[in-house]
Structure 1
Amino acid sequence: MIPSVAMLVSLAMLVCLALSVSAMKRSLKQKYEEKHREALEKEEELVESFKIDDQRRQMMKYWVMAESSCPQFVIARSCVCAASSMITSFFGSIYTVVHVLDGTSANAPGKTSYGVYTKRIVAVQSHGVGIAVILAMLRLLVALVFRCSSTNTWMIESYWIQTLNDCRNSSAGIKIEPNRWGKCLFNAKWCVLTFCIGVQRFIVLASKTLIFFSGFIVAPLVMCFTHINNFARRHHDTSSGGDDMDLNYLSSYVLLLDGEVELPTSLVRSMCREADGMIKIGREKKPSNLINLLQKSDSSYTSQITTLVLAYDCWTLQVVTLTSIALALPNISQHQRKQLLSSVSEGLSLTTTVEKTLDTNGKFKSIRNAASSTWVELLVYSKWAEIDLRTGFLWCRNSKQVLQELSDKAEEIVTELKSESQDSNMGNPLNFPARVVAANSMYSICQTILLSYGEEESCEEMWKRLCVMIADVLVACLTNLPHAITKMCHQSCIEKRDETEREAFLLLGKTEEVVGIVRRQRHLCIDHDEDALTMPSMSELAVTVDC
């Protein structure tokens, strides 16, 4: 009887929480938007400064907002959830004690056909109940220690009854006729929902009352825990980034529901340390091959490459095209090829992140798709446009012949499309198939290199030039990386906010050295907005083929 009552009470509390979730989300979303506007005020100047510590401090605001508004944390710190944990702990403990005391009088094996199996089932259930009781007690203890529940015991916040109240005052979902039966149906609905609102109020009020009085019972334990925590903190190294920050300032970005007390500073400190831990993990995964490639960048070539190359395509496609040309050169060692592929692979993961973050409208998605398909073909099969780059140009005596052959093949692909396609949408290069977009890029780059370096160079010399050009394009793209990382934190969807923030902090630690190299190599000032993505106008694509 007692376990059944406990389960029914827990079910009622679960329904109470479920009915308030949507109102909680709306309230937290509104508070997030307000804090987001406040956090944006100094964001641009911090990103412009390229200082990792300043950027981390700016991102930490969004991290605190994401963690404090995490749905699991919001529900766990609610008074109803804490009271449910207390009830689960109490009745679970009683069940465990009764089961232990009554264990000796259980049916002995052999009295019934199912005696042995029954005992095993009871044993498994007992272990499950024991684990549930322990977890419920820990959740309750955390809620009481951190004082996460509201101290205003006699006030029922609006979000608890907002959903039921809106449903009661709305006629949606019920067709009410203008007659006696329609009036009876409306009154019946009103009475039922009014009763439900009363039950909801009672559950919330009872939960708060239960938590209020339980606080006196566990007060000695809470005080003991607090003293131990303070003692450990005094003897702990507090040199981490989270402790250096102004915790009181970050505490102002904690998102709380109406009626909730402020989270303790120790909890905010714990959030900051978790974020710093992710930055540390990111530093251990730094792209070493990419760093070696970026160090080859020559700042004297940067503006020239940016003007000649980036005028046509997105950064990712240009890097893939330049890499294809480099791998087509004969007389290059296998080690050099593998090293370049590893470096470019690490760089493309970052350039893709930058382009997706800055291209918010998805205007150049087709170009990124072309770069992706071209890169997969190159990485897996060592081919470009079905040409084997390992053996297709072994007969070439110098790099100029390789460039000319690739240019002719690209021109052939584009010309074929223009002669066969009758679709009016094909006039816009953004609507070209991926194969044709890649061919446009190849033709443009080959012609640019042939015009700039018309003399016959050896393959080794051209390889070095191409590596420098690839590094320059990557530097031009990764100049926007700090802004892209910070923009990743601007996640309005509450369900994805925590995951996106973690990815941003991992990326911040992973690219810390990369940003340092970019800062040294790059001297051009790029506007950090949607126009900062120096994507192609694409109006010049295919036109160059006719020239």
Structure 2
Amino acid sequence: MSPNLQYDSDQFYILKATCNRSVIGYLDQLRELALTSDRQTLYNKPMPWIGMYISVASLFCTLAMMADLLHGMRNRKLWLPCKFFTLNAASLTVMAVAMKLPMDLNNLVPGDVDQGAKIAGVSFMCTMMANLLPSLATMDSKELVSNIIALAILVITLVVNVCIQIYTGIFINVVSDEIGFLERVIYATVYVVPILMMLIIYACSSLAILKSKQILELKYQAAHQTTLKDQELQVGRLLSVEMLKKHVSNYGIMAGTGSPQFMLASSATTSAAGVICAASTGVLILATIFDFKVLGHPMSDYKWSMSVIFIIQFIGTILGTIAPVARCFATLSFKFSVKWIWKHVKWLRAMFSPSSIVLGPNPAQPGNYEDLRRYVLLLQDDIEFADRTLKGISKSMNHLIRKAEKRQPQNLMKLLETSLGFEGVEKYDSRHVESVVSDEYLNCWSLPLVTLTSIAMSLPNNQKKTVDCLVSGVSEGLVYVKHVEKNLNAIDDHVIIQNAAKTLWVEVEIYHKWLGNNLPKPKVRVNTPAQILQWLRDTAKDIVDKVEEMDIKGRNGNSKYKSICANSMYRITETMLSNHENFDEFSQEELFGKLSSMIADILAACLTNLPQVIAMKCHTSSIEKREASVQAAAQLLGETTHIINSLQDRELPSLNPDELAFIDKWRACLENPFP
């Protein structure tokens, strides 16, 4: 073989080997691409369900915004305060989930629906921020700072991600090289600037809120002192229902106009937020009409869920814009009354018309709400408050009262009808009876009521219907007794007794037991009233003795509770046995009647404090809670209107208003009316 042939043969084998390696390498690349594609397909499988997760979060935000809108409309609050959709950790978390799509830097948006969903997400964020703005006023300084920082982190992250996507072309579905600098600036201005302006509004509002609250607080305290002079409680006299309604109305005006949310909702920053929100929504609508095919097929990894995201966020943006815009219009009605507008209309007419023509009746005539204007709290004294807003707040209070009047406690009212005075307060417990506990406990309203009801339930011969009516009446009465004790007897020593009574009542009402003993007592050698009272007295003493023998002396929670309840039972049963030596002559029905009468007298005495409780509920030191507190006072007034009227003509003991809240003061005064 010649050298040339040998060389050609070697070249051939080398070339063949090289080709084989190339083919093998190419096939390996194809295999890797196939494996990568399979993995990518596997990784993308959950993407539609992630899209549904985004849709659910967006739906929650939309429903919360609609709930606030309906709540404000229903309660005649045109400034639409935030109650359900407020700025907090939970709402920020849900908002972050809803914004996952515009924050996504990696997934392409090749379809019109995909691109529209990203843009809808940005507009949806702007709408949510506009709706959340009034909720800033409900926070203290610490909460305000933390929530603003958290929101700023979310917004800045969203803005940076959107800007990156505009630069790379992902956000607007173009190749990066095909978009110029000016176009990038235009897109950033349209989609990013509104959110940044919203964040600036949040920062400005936060700075203004703290100072505004201080101003409103000073004005509130001045109006509060004026109201106290007009509505002072007098010794031996209860505030009438009409006086209480006026009292609630006055504080309703103070709480409504001095509400931080009302203040912020009627500010220029909120008006600006409404304008920005409306503009952002308008851009979304125009973009949807002219640039996108809403019914097209999604082409991104989110697949069919992209259409769901777009529809929910698009609808949420449209509906969520209602509240912020309703606030470019409600602010005007708050600040400018008909009288103010009429004055300026006449001024303009005088400029352009040589003659003065009367156009109709002068709306500047004083109305029925002029006397309420001194309770209006405004940051700026030179702005006259609109009559219809003042009228709306007053009507809202009256509506709450009328609505609550339909929920009168019928069983309690029937029980109070059996009370003719306050003798039961004096007779239920005698000072001559010694306690069986080492530590002497103070008395409260609720514990004697629960103990006397337990005694009445222990009488086996009474009809079940009669006993049930008594229990229902006491149950309804204890609701209002707790209002009295919570607001007027909030001393630690009294709270311990009140908590014991509360726990005991659950056992008595639900399980028909008293400290583990069944009520009524089975008819086994215990039939007469005297025998029943003796059994209850001895049982109570045995319980106290067991507690004392354990050397706990009431310091342990459960043992102390038993000691308090058993001591009350012992004192009351021993008092009744001491006052009536011939108890065997009484029937169970007669004893039940006496017990019911004492219960009714104690309830009547306690509930004479309701006017003072209602007056106190109208005023609270926390500016964020005043409006809710006045509403609670209005509801309490409505529910107890008939009770207050029925107690109005009763002669009260010679006690100061503050002393009327304590049952021991009543007993001391009734036992010795002429010291």
Shorter-normalised TM-score: what interval?
0.7 to 0.9
SS in 2 for 1:406: helix
Matches within 5 A, 1:407-486: 407-421=537-551, 433-455=560-582, 456=584, 457-486=586-615
- TM-score, normalising length from structure 2? 0.61
Q: CA deviation at 1:113?
A: 6.8
After the TM superposition, which of the residue ranges 136-145 and 9-18 deviates more from structure 2?
136-145
Q: Identify the residue that residue 287 of structure 2 maps to in structure 1.
A: 98
Contact 2:428/2:575, CA 8 A, preserved across alignment: no
- CA distance, structure 2, for counterparts of residue 294 and residue 107 of structure 1: 68
Contact 2:430/2:575, CA 8 A, preserved across alignment: yes
Contact 1:322/1:466, CA 8 A, preserved across alignment: yes
Deviations, residues 207-233 of structure 1 (Å, cap 9, x unaligned): xxxxxxxxx9xxxxxxxxxx9xx99xx
Contact 1:315/1:473, CA 8 A, preserved across alignment: yes
Q: Identify the residue that residue 629 of structure 2 maps to in structure 1.
A: 500
Contact 1:364/1:535, CA 8 A, preserved across alignment: no
- CA distance, structure 1, for counterparts of residue 462 and residue 394 of structure 2: 48
Q: CA deviation at 1:35?
A: 1.8
After the TM superposition, which of the residue ranges 26-35 and 343-352 deviates more from structure 2?
26-35
- CA distance, structure 2, for counterparts of residue 421 and residue 254 of structure 1: 60
Q: Identify the residue that residue 266 of structure 1 maps to in structure 2.
A: 388
Deviations, residues 301-346 of structure 1 (Å, cap 9, x unaligned): 3564377499962111010000000001121111112111111000
Q: Which has the higher contact order (CA 8 A, sep 6+)?
A: 1
Is 1:532 matched with 2:651?
Answer: no
- CA distance, structure 2, for counterparts of residue 494 and residue 360 of structure 1: 21
Contact 2:459/2:588, CA 8 A, preserved across alignment: yes
- CA distance, structure 1, for counterparts of residue 514 and residue 246 of structure 2: 44
Q: CA deviation at 1:129?
A: 2.1
Q: CA deviation at 1:110?
A: 7.4
SS in 1 for 2:328: helix
- CA distance, structure 2, for counterparts of residue 74 and residue 393 of structure 1: 67
Is 1:277 matched with 2:396?
Answer: no
Contact 2:411/2:473, CA 8 A, preserved across alignment: yes
- CA distance, structure 2, for counterparts of residue 69 and residue 350 of structure 1: 29
Task: Note closer, same or farther for the CA distance 1:405–1:140 as it changes in structure 2 (3 Å cut).
Answer: same
Structure 2 letter corresponding to 1:71: P
Q: 1:301 aligns with which of 403, 409, 423?
A: 423
Computed over aligned residues only, the root mean square deviation of the Cα atoms, in angstroms, reads 3.3
Deviations, residues 130-159 of structure 1 (Å, cap 9, x unaligned): 12333222112111233279xxxxxxxxxx
- TM-score, normalising length from structure 1? 0.74
Q: Identify the residue that residue 325 of structure 2 maps to in structure 1.
A: 137
Q: Identify the residue that residue 250 of structure 1 maps to in structure 2.
A: 372
Q: Identify the residue that residue 192 of structure 2 maps to in structure 1.
A: 4
Matches within 5 A, 1:513-524: 513-521=642-650, 523-524=652-653
Matches within 5 A, 1:28-47: 28-45=216-233
Q: CA deviation at 1:72?
A: 1.8
Q: CA deviation at 1:114?
A: 6.3
Q: Identify the residue that residue 221 of structure 1 maps to in structure 2.
A: none
Q: 1:335 aligns with which of 465, 475, 483?
A: 465
Q: Identify the residue that residue 13 of structure 1 maps to in structure 2.
A: 201
- CA distance, structure 1, for counterparts of residue 572 and residue 621 of structure 2: 40
Structure 1 letter corresponding to 2:323: L
Contact 2:418/2:600, CA 8 A, preserved across alignment: yes
Contact 1:296/1:468, CA 8 A, preserved across alignment: yes
Structure 1 letter corresponding to 2:661: L
Deviations, residues 439-491 of structure 1 (Å, cap 9, x unaligned): 11111111111122222211111011111110011011111111111111121
Q: Identify the residue that residue 177 of structure 2 maps to in structure 1.
A: none
- CA distance, structure 2, for counterparts of residue 468 and residue 384 of structure 1: 21
Q: CA deviation at 1:276?
A: 0.7
Structure 1 letter corresponding to 2:614: I
Contact 1:256/1:262, CA 8 A, preserved across alignment: no
Q: Identify the residue that residue 515 of structure 2 maps to in structure 1.
A: 385
Contact 2:489/2:662, CA 8 A, preserved across alignment: no
- CA distance, structure 2, for counterparts of residue 103 and residue 430 of structure 1: 69
Q: Identify the residue that residue 135 of structure 2 maps to in structure 1.
A: none
Task: Note closer, same or farther for the CA distance 1:252–1:390 as it changes in structure 2 (3 Å cut).
Answer: same
Specify the structure having the higher radius of gyration (Cα).
2
Contact 1:93/1:133, CA 8 A, preserved across alignment: no
- In the alignment of these two chains, the number of paired residues is 444
Q: CA deviation at 1:108?
A: 4.4
Contact 2:298/2:307, CA 8 A, preserved across alignment: no
- CA distance, structure 2, for counterparts of residue 120 and residue 387 of structure 1: 61
After the TM superposition, which of the residue ranges 430-439 and 441-450 deviates more from structure 2?
430-439
SS in 1 for 2:192: helix
- CA distance, structure 2, for counterparts of residue 283 and residue 11 of structure 1: 45
Deviations, residues 108-137 of structure 1 (Å, cap 9, x unaligned): 437777676545433333222212333222
Is 1:397 matched with 2:527?
Answer: yes
Is 1:57 matched with 2:246?
Answer: yes
Q: CA deviation at 1:493?
A: 0.8
Deviations, residues 238-284 of structure 1 (Å, cap 9, x unaligned): xxxxx9x9522222112222467232121111111111111111111
Task: Note closer, same or farther for the CA distance 1:110–1:6 as it changes in structure 2 (3 Å cut).
Answer: closer
Q: CA deviation at 1:387?
A: 0.8
Structure 2 letter corresponding to 1:98: A
Structure 1 letter corresponding to 2:569: M
Task: Note closer, same or farther for the CA distance 1:375–1:110 as it changes in structure 2 (3 Å cut).
Answer: closer
Structure 2 letter corresponding to 1:534: F
Q: CA deviation at 1:300?
A: 7.1
Unpaired segments ≥5 residues, structure 1: 150-215, 217-226, 232-242, 541-547
Structure 2 letter corresponding to 1:519: Q
Q: Identify the residue that residue 258 of structure 2 maps to in structure 1.
A: 69
Contact 1:354/1:477, CA 8 A, preserved across alignment: yes
SS in 2 for 1:461: helix
Unpaired segments ≥5 residues, structure 2: 1-186, 338-347, 349-358, 434-440, 669-675
Task: Note closer, same or farther for the CA distance 1:369–1:109 as it changes in structure 2 (3 Å cut).
Answer: closer
Task: Note closer, same or farther for the CA distance 1:395–1:306 as it changes in structure 2 (3 Å cut).
Answer: closer
Q: CA deviation at 1:418?
A: 3.9
